[in-house]
Chains A and B, each alone.
Chain A
Amino acid sequence: MDLLGFARGPALKVALAIFCLGVVWRIVGFALLRLRRDHNAPRRGVLAFLTGGLVTVGSRSWPHPEFIARTGAGEALGYSYHIGLFIVVLLFTPHIIFLGSLFGFTWPGLPSSLITVVSVLTLTLFLAVLFRRVTNPVMRMLSNFDDYFSWFITALVLLTGLAATTHIGGPYEKLLAVHILSVDALLIWFPFGKLMHAFYIFPSRAINGALLARKGAVS
């Protein structure tokens, strides 16, 4: 078996298995902890509780006007590279074909040249967020191995993908194998680190919003 065959064969299967089991374990592991009943009488009813949760899932995507001056730029930077990642991962035709083989359906993609431009921009934003993490005193203090390794592994996937599509740095098959191996590594790392926030973000916002709505407070 050649490197490419290994990367998209057994390595990918193992990586996907670790990813799925790990994600389930990370969620079940704390979801099984006790959930205390709140005996305090709510100000608002169940409908407000549910709508408060749903609204906060969306509204917390952007800071409240009171906070924008201090956080708007940082959040915009954060969202920009996420959008770039989504475009590259979900709208690059070879990715769509691969995901289609997993999910059983496909969708239209963007031209490769456009994906290349978005990849370069996203990589630039990745460098910007790394620069921000190491220069911003608050972020530097909070950061640990997880933050830097999660950054590294995601950036590596982007970089190897860019190399494979532009054929820079070696023969295509080898570059593709390295890219898929980096994806395998990302899938393996995913449940162990902060990349899990992809699964946590919406329920977390919903819970905060619902509990504040129960009290009749803003969220």
Chain B
Amino acid sequence: MSDATGALGADIAPEQAKTPQARVAGAMRGFAQEIGALSAFRLESCIHCGICADACHFYIATEDPQYTPIWKVEPFKQAYKREASPLAPLYRLLGLKREVTADELMKWQHLLFDSCNMCGRCSLICPMGIDVAALIEQARHAMFEAGLAPKELYQKAAHQRSTGQPEASAEPYRDQLLAIGQRFGVEIPLDKSDAEVMLCVPRTDIEHYPSAVAALARVMQHLGVSCTFRSDGLVAENYGYYAGGKSWQREISLRLIEQAIACSANILLVPECGHAYTALRWEAADLYGKPLPFKVRHVTEFLADELEAGRLKLAPAGTGKTTFHDPCQLVRKGGVNDAPRALMKAMGIELNELKNHGGFSFCCGGGGGVLDIERAAPLRYRTMENKLREIDDTGAQTFLTSCSDCRRTFDDAQAHFSWNKAPHSLLELVAKNLSGVGNRT
């Protein structure tokens, strides 16, 4: 088996030090907490056909069997069968399933984090209908409890949990946000006590794409929507989700939930950030323990609704031949398929779809925290080649997406491969082509 990262084994932060026994105990505890009827059924149903490999861009790019999606949860499948399955007493009595070891878990860090974007494409191919991506997310929770989340994800999650920001910055994000408003000449609504919509922002946009932050504020201002950012709940990303730290994911989500409640928001608007959408739209209420008292909407969904209601009018964008990358977390795992297309159509864009698009789109390669894991870069680049080829094959001059992490991954590929295309934000394109005057009162 080849190892494209050249780094099998675990790469962990010093604060994650544990004895081997504590790692195994943590992993088993973490996994046991997740075992419900649904995940047990998924684990029971696998027939070892290996078809899921053919949906995974890591396997397709390398033909290395270790990247078979269901193999990525193998230690946990064994642990389930030995400890919790209906036949567990038999397996233990006859010694048919051995205990998982700390060494095994350390090796699996590469498979569960470096080589999985949690994109969910494997969940669409399984003839048994197993949601493999859901199992991988559970296995990540177990790895976190074992102290085996990759150090980059662990440290960012720890920082975000305690400060609200995944990393320290020279200026707090709040001040950077206001500076972006001044720089781009747009009002940044901040810390209003009452607003219809609460906004948050990807730290990727603050650090790399301030024009996207300005675009969000500009569009909301144009529509006349009562909205606000909140200093104590600014960051959309959730590194707890990436790292597999479920309790940390909860704490990070709660920061936003509490702020949305504090300003009586009806909508928590997720900016162009795919995994933030999954974390807030499809997981936050479970972590909160009850339904959220507001709606969670991706910005493209919100704008498509405004378009349909006649409150948003857009001018032709004149982008020429255009293609669009569907962020996995929004489309395949989130169901936001039509909204971006409605916005593009309203700007007169004739879309040249990628060969694999919509729910079947290949991941950019950076999702699931992989972009942050330094040692995963060589493998990530290898898996991206197919995606870049698909984009080139459309012959498009303009390449759009609606997730800033995807955008950053493609920008990184542009630098790495000297690729001749740059990804653009759909939101920014909308902000540039606003037409008429928003008619909200």
> Which residues of A pack against B, CB within 8 Å?
25-26, 28-36, 38-41, 43, 56, 60-61, 63-64, 66-67, 70-71, 74-75, 78, 136-144, 146-147, 192, 194, 196-197, 200-201, 203-209, 211-212, 215-219
Contact = CB atoms under 8 A, between A and B. Distances in A.
B284 interface: yes
A204 B128 contact: yes
A174 B360 CA distance: 55
Leading 6 A-B pairs by shortest Cβ distance: A29-B86, A216-B335, A205-B129, A218-B359, A30-B40, A39-B285
Contacts of B281: 40
Contacts of B66: 141
Contacts of B86: 25-26, 28-30
B268 to A, nearest CB: 12
B128 A201 contact: yes
A204 B54 contact: no
B291 interface: yes
A147 B50 CA distance: 12
B185 interface: no
14 contacts: A28-B86, A30-B40, A32-B37, A33-B35, A39-B285, A40-B292, A41-B295, A64-B125, A70-B54, A71-B51, A204-B129, A212-B123, A215-B333, A219-B124
Contact of A139 (B36, B48, B290, B333): B48
Interface in B86-137: 86-87, 90, 123-131
Contacts of B332: 217-218
B41 A192 contact: no
Contacts of A61: 127
A138 B285 contact: no
Interface of B: 35-38, 40-42, 44-45, 47-51, 53-55, 59-60, 63, 65-66, 68, 70-71, 84-87, 90, 123-131, 281-286, 288-292, 295-296, 331-337, 356, 358-360
A142 B68 contact: yes
A215 B282 CA distance: 8
B283 A197 contact: no
A195 to B, nearest CB: 10
A36 B130 CA distance: 18
A36 B38 CA distance: 9
A38 B292 CA distance: 12
A61 B290 CA distance: 36
Contacts of B54: 67, 70-71
B55 to A, nearest CB: 6
Contacts of B41: 30-31, 200, 203-204, 207
Contact of B45 (A31, A40, A66, A201): A201
Nearest to A69: B54
Contact of B42 (A36, A56, A204): A204
A141 B68 contact: yes
A63 to B, nearest CB: 6
- The residue among A71, A75, A142, A147 with the most chain B CB atoms within 10 A of its own CB is A142
A167 to B, nearest CB: 35
B50 to A, nearest CB: 4
A208 B38 CA distance: 10
Contacts of A143: 48
A67 B49 CA distance: 15
Contact of B37 (A33, A60, A70): A33
A212 B51 CA distance: 20
A208 B129 contact: yes
Contacts of A204: 41-42, 45, 128-130
A147 B360 contact: no
Nearest to A32: B37
Given A28-B86, A29-B85, A196 B44 contact: yes
Given A138-B50, A142-B48, A39 B125 contact: no
A30 B291 CA distance: 27
A63 B125 contact: yes
B45 A197 contact: yes
Contacts of A40: 281-286, 291-292
B78 to A, nearest CB: 10
A139 B59 CA distance: 13
B48 A144 contact: yes
A206 B337 CA distance: 22
A213 B170 CA distance: 44
- The residue among A39, A75, A146 with the most chain B CB atoms within 10 A of its own CB is A39
